[in-house]
Amino acid sequence: MPTMKKLLLLVLILLSVTQLRSQGVFPSETQEKPKEDRNFRIPLIGETAPSFTAESTNGTLNFPSDFGRSWKILFSHPQDFTPVCSTEILELGYLQDEFDKLGVKLVVVSTDALDTHVQWKKSLESLNLNNRGLVKIKFPIVDDNIKSISKKYGMIHAATNTTKDVRGVFIINPDNIISAIYFYPPSVGRNTDELLRTVTALQATYTDKVMTPVNWKAGNDLLVPLPPKADANSTTAAPDGYYSPVWYLMFKKAAK
């Protein structure tokens, strides 16, 4: 009889577990785990920069709120100690004063862990590349070991978790709106002169209703948006301080 009672009790337990599992209390062995949303789209120009909180070589970083109304540039890297990325970080270090003059805050994201970032930074700061002297890297290098930032900024492909394409640059204005985007392949180093030029151009056009022509540099004349009813028969003369070589182009002379 005791054996029969034990058997009956076991049957009741099994029936209870089966019922609870059918109600979703216990996951079924065949029940699929929720799939990750792989729609890692790149935030576009004019959209709000995705925010994140992460550890960095400068401590905990809340991006972009920690930088207030400053202009910001977010650089991303697939891995620490890679040759191209190492030269880029050093160049940013050498140009820190130039970016400071423009009121630009630099943030570097790399998909390695923080302790690796610390060693990379230490090594770079001990390197006298091309006899330019040693440099202290003041900007934060952010831990994105779990790739959450790279995914928010659309740099992980939907079909893979590879980090080889985490090579984006996002220029973000004081309103935390993305104003320019660059992407580079792993084999090609970024052009920091172009980044400085782009930031300068964005700042020149941020508040005034002007634009920059091709190859514009600071101190060059600016373009004025066309009047709504501009046409080939327009005879409106350019006001003082402006000139118009043809009806669809009007320039504003740069302040001397």
Question: What digits encode the pLDDT tens for the residues 42-86?
Answer: 999 999 999 999 999 999 999 999 999 999 999 999 999 999 999
pLDDT for residue 232:
60
Q: Are residues 104 and 228 in the same domain?
A: no
pLDDT for residue 32:
62
d(CA 44, CA 46): 6
Query: Does 244 reside within a domain?
Result: yes
Query: Does 45 reside within a domain?
Result: no
Query: Does 17 reside within a domain?
Result: no
**Cβ atoms within 10 Å of 157's Cβ, excluding its own:** 13
Query: Does 114 reside within a domain?
Result: yes
Q: Are residues 233 and 161 in the same domain?
A: no
Query: Does 27 reside within a domain?
Result: no
| Sequence-separated contacts (24+) of 146-151 with Cβ below 8 Å | 147/111, 148/52, 148/54, 149/50, 149/52, 149/54, 149/76, 149/109, 150/40, 150/76, 150/109, 150/111, 151/40
Q: Are residues 166 and 77 in the same domain?
A: yes
The string of pLDDT tens digits covering residues 167-186 is 999 999 999 999 999 999 99
Average pLDDT over the chain reads 88
Q: Are residues 212 and 112 in the same domain?
A: no
Q: Quick check: is 85 catalytic?
A: yes
Q: Are residues 184 and 225 in the same domain?
A: no
Where is the domain boundary, 136, 162, 190?
A: 190
Q: Are residues 222 and 248 in the same domain?
A: yes
pLDDT tens for the chain, residues 1 to 256: 556 666 555 555 565 545 655 555 455 455 565 676 777 899 999 999 999 999 999 999 999 999 999 999 999 999 999 999 999 999 999 999 999 999 999 999 999 999 999 999 999 999 999 999 999 999 999 999 999 999 999 999 877 778 988 999 999 999 999 999 999 999 999 999 999 999 999 999 998 889 999 999 999 999 998 765 556 666 567 788 899 998 889 999 998 7
Q: Are residues 133 and 217 in the same domain?
A: no
| Domain at 59, CATH number | 3.40.30.10
- Count of domains observed in the chain: 2
Query: Does 233 reside within a domain?
Result: yes
pLDDT for residue 13:
58
Q: Which of 49, 73, 85, 178 is catalytic?
A: 85
Q: Are residues 245 and 121 in the same domain?
A: no
Q: Are residues 150 and 246 in the same domain?
A: no
Q: Are residues 157 and 232 in the same domain?
A: no
Q: Are residues 185 and 217 in the same domain?
A: no
Query: Does 68 reside within a domain?
Result: yes
132: containing domain: 52-190
pLDDT for residue 145:
96
Contact partners, residue 172, CB within 8 Å, separation at least 6: 49, 64, 71, 72, 73, 74, 178, 179
Query: Does 4 reside within a domain?
Result: no
Q: Are residues 216 and 249 in the same domain?
A: yes
Q: Which residues, listed in sequence order, are joined to residue 172 by a DSSP beta bridge?
A: 72, 178
d(CA 68, CA 174): 7
User: Which amino acid makes up residue 193?
Assistant: D
